[in-house]
């Protein structure tokens, strides 16, 4: 598998890191513990390891001894009007201090109120008031963690009549004001572009691509409304959009994200090799 990535001198700064990786999932624990898997990094779901002990944390520490780890959260609720949960941030920081990840990321969404956690990535209205709220929460999270975070563009299935800007305009303003970095989920752009009828190319053109540090590739469920399910191989349309993105991006980390119907590891490595080949082709100069 032709993967080529080099670790940056200080992985806590958010500086560029070019490599290809997979999500660390329970189905593949043995593969990572018992052999040298041909990836440059793994990404974990942070909440699965925010505990004092147990087998998952033990496995993570052994894998971390072999390769870099990225922490990817699903419950920060950066869009929550109630602010961020103090206990959650403390546990997240403890895990980050223990694992020393390349970086910590989460989603542009909200998941909870003060009394209820939906365990779902709920959409934001793209208004100036929401932007102020999100930026305040990002500033707070980055100050507590002592590091610059990455935030992922969501997949979405509805819009708000109150919206005052496009999603990419919202994300661009968010990155400029907080100096956070971006996790570009190509499948989410593809899904949302279909669901809402906007141009995926316009979306890419509207983002501050110099702030992108990581790319997610995943599969979705087809239909009149496309659903971001992470249980299918990456489709041709997402591969095409990834190629366009890589022609615009500098060094980034790319990973295949599979969360359900998880296949044997070799099948994911084949997909990851395709990502590496596309990225390599995008770096080649265009013939005159």
Alpha carbons 79 and 136: distance in angstroms, whole number? 10
Output the pTM of the full model: 0.91
pLDDT digits (tens, 9 = 90+) for 173-232: 999 999 999 999 999 999 999 888 999 999 999 999 999 999 999 988 888 887 788 779
Q: At 264, list the tokens.
A: 């044997």
State the pLDDT at residue 118. Answer: 52
pLDDT at 11 over 50: no
Alpha carbons 18 and 59: distance in angstroms, whole number? 25
Q: Cβ(227)–Cβ(220) under 8 Å?
A: yes
> Using CA of residue 53, residue 57, residue 62, residue 64, what is the dihedral sign?
negative
Q: What is the CATH number of domain 23-283?
A: 3.20.20.150
pLDDT digits (tens, 9 = 90+) for 124-146: 899 999 999 999 999 999 999 99
Q: What is the CA radius of gyration of the chain?
A: 18
Residue the block writes with tokens 């929460």: 137
Categorize the per-residue pLDDT at 123 as very low, low, confident or very high, splitting at 50, 70 and 90. confident
pLDDT digits (tens, 9 = 90+) for 149-171: 999 999 888 888 898 999 999 99
Q: Report the range of poorest mean pLDDT among 3-12, 77-86, 151-160.
A: 3-12
Categorize the per-residue pLDDT at 9 as very low, low, confident or very high, splitting at 50, 70 and 90. very low
Domain ranges of the chain: 23-283
Residue the block writes with tokens 């542009």: 108
Phi, psi of 98, deg, nearest 5: -75, -40
Average pLDDT value for residue range 42-71: 95
User: Percentage of the chain surpassing pLDDT 90?
Assistant: 74
Alpha carbons 66 and 36: distance in angstroms, whole number? 8
pLDDT at 5 over 80: no
| Run of H or E residues at 41 | strand 41-45
State the pLDDT at residue 6. Answer: 32
pLDDT digits (tens, 9 = 90+) for 270-284: 999 999 999 999 888
Please, is 120 exposed, middle or buried when counting C-beta atoms within 10 Å of its C-beta (0-12, 13-18, 19+)? exposed
Other Cβ atoms closer than 10 A to 201:
14
Average pLDDT value for residue range 17-28: 94
């Amino acid at each position: 598998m032709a993967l080529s990535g080099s670790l940056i001198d200080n992985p806590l700064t958010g500086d560029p890191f070019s490599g290809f990786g997979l999500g660390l999932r329970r189905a593949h624990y043995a593969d990572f513990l018992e052999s040298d898997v041909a990836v440059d990094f793994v990404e974990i779901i942070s909440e699965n390891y925010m505990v004092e002990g147990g087998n998952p944390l033990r496995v993570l520490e052994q894998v971390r001894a072999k390769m870099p780890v990225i922490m990817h959260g699903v419950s920060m609720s950066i869009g929550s009007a109630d602010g961020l949960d103090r206990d959650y941030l403390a546990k997240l920081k403890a895990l980050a201090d223990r694992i020393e990840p390349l970086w910590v990321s989460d989603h542009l969404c909200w998941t909870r109120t003060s009394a209820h956690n939906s365990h779902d990535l709920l959409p934001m209205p793209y208004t100036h008031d929401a932007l102020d709220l999100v930026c305040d929460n990002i500033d707070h999270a980055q100050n507590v963690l002592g590091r610059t975070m990455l935030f992922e563009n969501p997949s979405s299935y509805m819009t708000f009549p109150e919206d005052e800007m496009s999603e990419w305009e919202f994300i661009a303003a968010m990155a400029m004001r907080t100096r956070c970095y971006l996790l570009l989920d190509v499948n989410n752009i593809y899904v949302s572009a279909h669901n809402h009828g906007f141009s995926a190319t316009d979306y890419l053109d509207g983002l501050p691509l110099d702030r992108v540090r990581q790319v997610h590739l995943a599969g979705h469920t087809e239909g009149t409304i496309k659903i971001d399910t992470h249980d299918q191989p990456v489709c041709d349309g997402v591969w095409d959009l990834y190629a366009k993105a890589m022609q615009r991006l500098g060094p980034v980390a790319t990973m295949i994200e599979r969360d359900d119907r998880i296949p044997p590891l070799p099948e994911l490595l084949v997909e990851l090799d395709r990502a590496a080949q596309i990225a390599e082709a995008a770096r080649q100069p265009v013939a005159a």
